[in-house]
Amino acid sequence: MKLEVHDLVAAKGKRQLTELNVASPEHAAAAEAAGIEIIVSGRARLRRALRDAAPHTHFCFGLIYGDHVNADQAKRAAFDALADGADSIYCAMHFDVVEAMAREGIPIVGHVGLVPQKARWTGLRAVGKSAEEAIGIVEDVRRYESAGAFAVEMEVVPPPVAEAICRSTPLIVISMGSGAGCDAQYLFASDVLGETARRIPRHARSYRDFRAECDRLHGERIAAFTEFRRDVASGAFPGEDETVAMAPGQWERFAEALAERTT
């Protein structure tokens, strides 16, 4: 059964949820089959396909940071996503933008801690290792509460800080590298599957090595295409099994008719 926003909120403090960032309908379908509660993606062109692939999984659509320059544009994009079947919206824009969307009843997930889209100010590093920074995260969470968000992604924050904040807020706290004391654990499907050649982040874990399998399959593609080209050159393709035969006696009739038309 798909979890709606009120179901996610009701689950706070009772069990940990799982969330995957999916890059394809295949990811989405596998996530649903595995019982993952939340999928997230910012790929607008795949939005309907992702929804169709995982109809019973909560789908959070991510607004790409920088695509929308004000609250009106963000609201329009969010409404479009909801019309395509999204259940909630991730938005890393300013609290005022989040508040404008929340006033329209749009369920919003914010982002605190390391926010990669804004890392020009912080660098790609853990946030909250000092008491001062940790208090800053608390203040950001409070601002999301006031803005009307229902959840917040908390990225690369020390686990004791993340757990303490999670216990002190009504928001669903989604951990990406912030320890087990939050309400949900979030990873990228491509990291879980080991699909990319890049080194995965410290906070992620690969459960499979799809990159090696993809490389093997690519080698097999090349080999198959090479064999096809070779068989065409040698006349081995096509063979009788790949062609059709005329009914008995029809070739002779055709040949005779063709000869009459070419003389």
On the question of pLDDT at 198 being above 80, the answer is no
Judgement on whether residues 43 and 167 belong to the same structural domain of the protein:
yes
Assess whether 204 and 224 both reside in one domain: no
Please tell me the total count of domains within the chain: 2
pLDDT reported for residue 16: 95
Q: Residue 263: pLDDT above 80?
A: no
Q: What's the rounded Cα separation, in Å, for the pair 129 and 141? A: 17
Identify whether 4 is a catalytic site residue.
no
Q: Are residues 32 and 120 in the same domain?
A: yes
CATH assignment of the domain containing 111: 3.20.20.60
Does 203 or 50 have the greater pLDDT score?
Answer: 50
pLDDT (0 to 100) of residue 238: 95
User: Do residues 240 and 188 both lie within one domain?
Assistant: no
For residue 33, the enclosing domain spans 5-208
Q: What is the pLDDT of residue 197?
A: 72
Burial 28-45 (b: 16+ CB within 10 A, else e): bbbbbeeebbbbbbbebe
Query: What does the pLDDT read at residue 262?
Result: 82
Question: How much is the pLDDT for 245?
Answer: 93
Residues 104 and 230 placed together within one structural domain of the fold: no
Considering the candidates 155, 220, 242, 252, report the single residue annotated as catalytic: 155
Do 69 and 135 lie in one domain? The reply is yes
Let me know whether 204 and 219 are in one domain: no
Torsions phi, psi for 71 (to 5 deg): -65, -35
Residue 96 CB neighbours (<10 A): 11
- Both 229 and 169 in one domain: the answer is no
For residue 1, what pLDDT band results from cuts at 50, 70 and 90?
confident
Q: Are residues 136 and 219 in the same domain?
A: no
Q: What is the pTM of this model?
A: 0.88
The pLDDT of residue 8: 97
User: What are 22-79's pLDDT values in tens digits?
Assistant: 999 999 999 999 999 999 999 999 999 999 999 999 999 999 999 999 999 999 999 9
Average pLDDT, the chain: 95
Element housing 18 (H / E): strand 17-21
On the question of pLDDT at 218 being above 90, the answer is: yes
* Residues 106 and 170 occupy one common structural domain: yes
